Structure 1
Amino acid sequence: MRVIEDNHVIDGKQVEIKRTIPKGAAPLKDFKTKKIFVGGLPTALTDGEFKDFFSKFGKVVEHEIICDHSTNRSRGFGFIVFDAEKTVDELLAKKGNKIDLNGTQVSLRWCFLNFCEP
Protein backbone atom coordinates (compact mmCIF):
# COMPACT_ATOMS: atom_id res chain seq x y z
CA MET A 1 0.00 0.00 0.00
CA ARG A 2 1.41 3.32 -1.03
CA VAL A 3 0.22 5.30 2.01
CA ILE A 4 2.18 2.95 4.29
CA GLU A 5 5.30 3.11 2.12
CA ASP A 6 5.38 6.93 1.74
CA ASN A 7 7.06 9.28 4.24
CA HIS A 8 4.74 11.50 6.27
CA VAL A 9 5.36 14.58 8.42
CA ILE A 10 2.81 15.89 10.95
CA ASP A 11 3.52 19.11 12.85
CA GLY A 12 7.14 18.96 11.69
CA LYS A 13 7.69 15.42 13.02
CA GLN A 14 8.33 12.36 10.85
CA VAL A 15 5.70 9.69 11.58
CA GLU A 16 5.47 6.05 10.59
CA ILE A 17 2.19 4.76 9.19
CA LYS A 18 1.34 1.14 9.98
CA ARG A 19 -1.57 -1.11 9.16
CA THR A 20 -3.97 -1.51 12.08
CA ILE A 21 -4.67 -4.90 13.56
CA PRO A 22 -7.90 -5.43 15.53
CA LYS A 23 -7.49 -6.49 19.14
CA GLY A 24 -7.32 -10.28 19.36
CA ALA A 25 -6.66 -10.75 15.63
CA ALA A 26 -3.59 -12.60 14.41
CA PRO A 27 -1.11 -10.34 12.60
CA LEU A 28 -0.82 -10.71 8.86
CA LYS A 29 2.10 -12.83 7.69
CA ASP A 30 3.30 -10.14 5.26
CA PHE A 31 3.32 -7.45 7.95
CA LYS A 32 6.83 -6.58 9.14
CA THR A 33 8.02 -4.74 12.23
CA LYS A 34 11.29 -3.54 13.70
CA LYS A 35 9.92 -3.53 17.26
CA ILE A 36 9.68 -6.28 19.84
CA PHE A 37 8.11 -6.45 23.29
CA VAL A 38 10.30 -8.03 25.99
CA GLY A 39 8.50 -9.26 29.12
CA GLY A 40 9.72 -10.72 32.40
CA LEU A 41 12.75 -8.44 32.72
CA PRO A 42 14.74 -8.61 35.95
CA THR A 43 14.06 -5.46 37.98
CA ALA A 44 17.79 -4.80 38.46
CA LEU A 45 18.48 -4.77 34.68
CA THR A 46 19.88 -1.42 33.52
CA ASP A 47 19.08 0.36 30.26
CA GLY A 48 22.66 -0.22 29.12
CA GLU A 49 22.53 -3.95 29.84
CA PHE A 50 19.17 -4.18 28.04
CA LYS A 51 20.50 -2.48 24.91
CA ASP A 52 23.84 -4.33 24.97
CA PHE A 53 22.15 -7.72 25.18
CA PHE A 54 19.92 -7.13 22.16
CA SER A 55 22.73 -5.43 20.21
CA LYS A 56 24.19 -8.93 19.73
CA PHE A 57 21.33 -9.62 17.30
CA GLY A 58 21.40 -6.38 15.30
CA LYS A 59 21.65 -2.61 15.51
CA VAL A 60 19.34 -1.27 18.25
CA VAL A 61 17.97 2.17 17.36
CA GLU A 62 15.61 2.56 20.35
CA HIS A 63 15.22 0.78 23.66
CA GLU A 64 13.10 1.39 26.72
CA ILE A 65 12.47 -0.37 29.99
CA ILE A 66 9.04 0.73 31.19
CA CYS A 67 9.11 2.16 34.72
CA ASP A 68 6.42 2.98 37.25
CA HIS A 69 5.88 6.76 37.19
CA SER A 70 5.61 7.18 40.95
CA THR A 71 8.46 4.89 42.11
CA ASN A 72 10.63 4.95 38.95
CA ARG A 73 11.13 1.17 39.39
CA SER A 74 11.06 -1.21 36.45
CA ARG A 75 7.66 -2.70 35.65
CA GLY A 76 9.42 -5.79 34.26
CA PHE A 77 8.94 -5.18 30.55
CA GLY A 78 10.30 -3.05 27.76
CA PHE A 79 10.65 -2.54 24.03
CA ILE A 80 13.51 -2.86 21.56
CA VAL A 81 13.48 -1.29 18.09
CA PHE A 82 16.03 -2.58 15.59
CA ASP A 83 17.14 -0.83 12.42
CA ALA A 84 15.83 -3.66 10.21
CA GLU A 85 12.72 -5.81 10.12
CA LYS A 86 14.90 -8.74 9.08
CA THR A 87 16.62 -8.64 12.48
CA VAL A 88 13.30 -9.15 14.28
CA ASP A 89 12.31 -11.97 11.91
CA GLU A 90 15.65 -13.76 12.39
CA LEU A 91 15.72 -13.27 16.17
CA LEU A 92 12.25 -14.68 16.68
CA ALA A 93 12.79 -17.48 14.15
CA LYS A 94 16.00 -18.60 15.92
CA LYS A 95 15.07 -17.97 19.54
CA GLY A 96 11.28 -18.33 19.54
CA ASN A 97 9.30 -16.47 22.14
CA LYS A 98 11.69 -17.10 25.07
CA ILE A 99 15.34 -16.13 25.49
CA ASP A 100 17.83 -16.27 28.36
CA LEU A 101 18.83 -12.74 29.35
CA ASN A 102 21.56 -12.83 31.98
CA GLY A 103 20.13 -15.96 33.63
CA THR A 104 16.45 -14.96 33.38
CA GLN A 105 14.01 -16.36 30.82
CA VAL A 106 12.25 -13.39 29.19
CA SER A 107 9.46 -13.47 26.63
CA LEU A 108 9.67 -11.93 23.17
CA ARG A 109 6.76 -10.78 20.99
CA TRP A 110 6.34 -8.95 17.73
CA CYS A 111 4.93 -5.45 18.20
CA PHE A 112 2.72 -3.70 15.69
CA LEU A 113 1.90 -0.13 16.75
CA ASN A 114 -0.06 -0.68 20.00
CA PHE A 115 -0.52 -4.43 19.55
CA CYS A 116 1.97 -7.09 20.65
CA GLU A 117 1.35 -10.62 19.42
CA PRO A 118 0.70 -13.08 22.28
Structure 2
Amino acid sequence: MTMRFEEVSERLGATLDYPGNKDHGKPLNVAIPNLGNVRLWQAVHGGYSWSIVYEPGVEHWSDDEKAKFVGYSASYRLVGHTSSSQTIRIDGGPWDSFAKAEEACKRTWRQIRSAS
Protein backbone atom coordinates (compact mmCIF):
# COMPACT_ATOMS: atom_id res chain seq x y z
CA MET A 1 0.00 0.00 0.00
CA THR A 2 1.39 3.37 -1.05
CA MET A 3 0.93 6.70 0.69
CA ARG A 4 -0.96 8.83 -1.84
CA PHE A 5 -1.64 12.48 -1.20
CA GLU A 6 -4.71 14.20 -2.61
CA GLU A 7 -5.04 17.97 -2.76
CA VAL A 8 -7.96 19.08 -0.61
CA SER A 9 -7.35 22.84 -0.62
CA GLU A 10 -11.00 23.47 -1.48
CA ARG A 11 -11.90 22.31 2.04
CA LEU A 12 -10.21 25.46 3.28
CA GLY A 13 -13.22 27.29 1.81
CA ALA A 14 -15.35 25.99 4.69
CA THR A 15 -16.93 28.49 7.07
CA LEU A 16 -15.51 29.56 10.39
CA ASP A 17 -17.50 27.84 13.13
CA TYR A 18 -16.63 29.86 16.20
CA PRO A 19 -19.77 31.31 17.85
CA GLY A 20 -19.10 34.68 19.39
CA ASN A 21 -16.21 35.45 17.04
CA LYS A 22 -16.70 38.49 14.80
CA ASP A 23 -16.02 36.28 11.75
CA HIS A 24 -18.35 33.40 12.77
CA GLY A 25 -20.11 32.01 9.69
CA LYS A 26 -17.77 33.67 7.18
CA PRO A 27 -15.79 31.56 4.70
CA LEU A 28 -12.34 30.80 6.14
CA ASN A 29 -10.61 32.56 3.24
CA VAL A 30 -12.60 35.74 4.08
CA ALA A 31 -12.02 35.51 7.84
CA ILE A 32 -8.32 34.78 7.26
CA PRO A 33 -7.50 36.53 3.95
CA ASN A 34 -4.15 34.85 3.32
CA LEU A 35 -5.78 31.44 3.69
CA GLY A 36 -6.84 31.65 0.04
CA ASN A 37 -3.18 31.11 -0.90
CA VAL A 38 -2.61 28.14 1.42
CA ARG A 39 -2.68 24.68 -0.17
CA LEU A 40 -3.45 21.42 1.62
CA TRP A 41 -2.89 17.75 0.75
CA GLN A 42 -4.00 14.75 2.77
CA ALA A 43 -3.41 10.99 2.74
CA VAL A 44 -4.68 8.15 4.91
CA HIS A 45 -2.09 5.43 5.34
CA GLY A 46 -1.29 2.82 7.96
CA GLY A 47 -3.95 3.97 10.43
CA TYR A 48 -2.79 7.59 10.32
CA SER A 49 -4.01 10.73 8.61
CA TRP A 50 -1.11 12.60 6.99
CA SER A 51 -1.18 16.27 5.92
CA ILE A 52 1.10 18.50 3.93
CA VAL A 53 0.40 22.23 3.93
CA TYR A 54 1.97 24.93 1.77
CA GLU A 55 2.12 28.30 3.57
CA PRO A 56 3.07 31.17 1.25
CA GLY A 57 3.40 33.77 4.00
CA VAL A 58 2.54 37.45 3.77
CA GLU A 59 4.57 40.47 2.67
CA HIS A 60 4.92 42.08 6.09
CA TRP A 61 6.54 39.02 7.70
CA SER A 62 10.13 39.40 8.83
CA ASP A 63 12.86 37.23 7.31
CA ASP A 64 12.83 35.15 10.51
CA GLU A 65 9.08 34.55 10.25
CA LYS A 66 9.41 33.63 6.58
CA ALA A 67 12.21 31.16 7.35
CA LYS A 68 10.11 29.59 10.10
CA PHE A 69 6.77 29.34 8.27
CA VAL A 70 7.00 29.76 4.48
CA GLY A 71 7.12 26.48 2.57
CA TYR A 72 5.76 22.96 2.96
CA SER A 73 5.17 21.50 6.42
CA ALA A 74 3.86 18.07 7.35
CA SER A 75 1.98 16.47 10.21
CA TYR A 76 0.08 13.33 11.15
CA ARG A 77 -2.36 11.90 13.68
CA LEU A 78 -4.19 8.67 14.27
CA VAL A 79 -7.23 8.18 12.05
CA GLY A 80 -10.29 9.04 14.08
CA HIS A 81 -8.56 11.69 16.17
CA THR A 82 -9.97 15.08 15.31
CA SER A 83 -8.44 17.38 17.91
CA SER A 84 -5.56 19.54 16.75
CA SER A 85 -3.89 18.77 20.08
CA GLN A 86 -3.45 15.18 18.83
CA THR A 87 -1.62 16.28 15.69
CA ILE A 88 2.13 15.68 15.54
CA ARG A 89 4.21 18.02 13.40
CA ILE A 90 7.05 16.35 11.54
CA ASP A 91 10.40 17.94 12.37
CA GLY A 92 12.57 19.47 9.67
CA GLY A 93 10.10 21.71 7.87
CA PRO A 94 9.24 23.90 6.29
CA TRP A 95 10.69 22.33 3.18
CA ASP A 96 11.11 24.08 -0.15
CA SER A 97 9.24 21.41 -2.13
CA PHE A 98 6.25 19.11 -1.85
CA ALA A 99 8.50 16.12 -2.65
CA LYS A 100 10.67 16.81 0.42
CA ALA A 101 7.63 17.08 2.69
CA GLU A 102 6.20 13.88 1.22
CA GLU A 103 9.49 12.06 1.81
CA ALA A 104 9.49 13.29 5.43
CA CYS A 105 6.03 11.70 5.86
CA LYS A 106 7.22 8.42 4.37
CA ARG A 107 10.37 8.45 6.52
CA THR A 108 8.25 9.08 9.63
CA TRP A 109 5.92 6.22 8.67
CA ARG A 110 8.91 3.86 8.30
CA GLN A 111 10.12 4.93 11.79
CA ILE A 112 6.66 4.35 13.31
CA ARG A 113 6.38 0.95 11.62
CA SER A 114 9.84 -0.21 12.68
CA ALA A 115 9.24 0.89 16.29
CA SER A 116 6.15 -1.27 16.65
The two structures have a TM-score, normalised by structure 2, of 0.29
Larger RCO, structure (CA 8 Å, separation 6 or more): 1
Whichever structure has more strand as a proportion of its residues is 1
* TM-score between the two structures when normalised by the length of structure 1: 0.29
Query: Which of the pair is proportionally richer in helix?
Result: 2
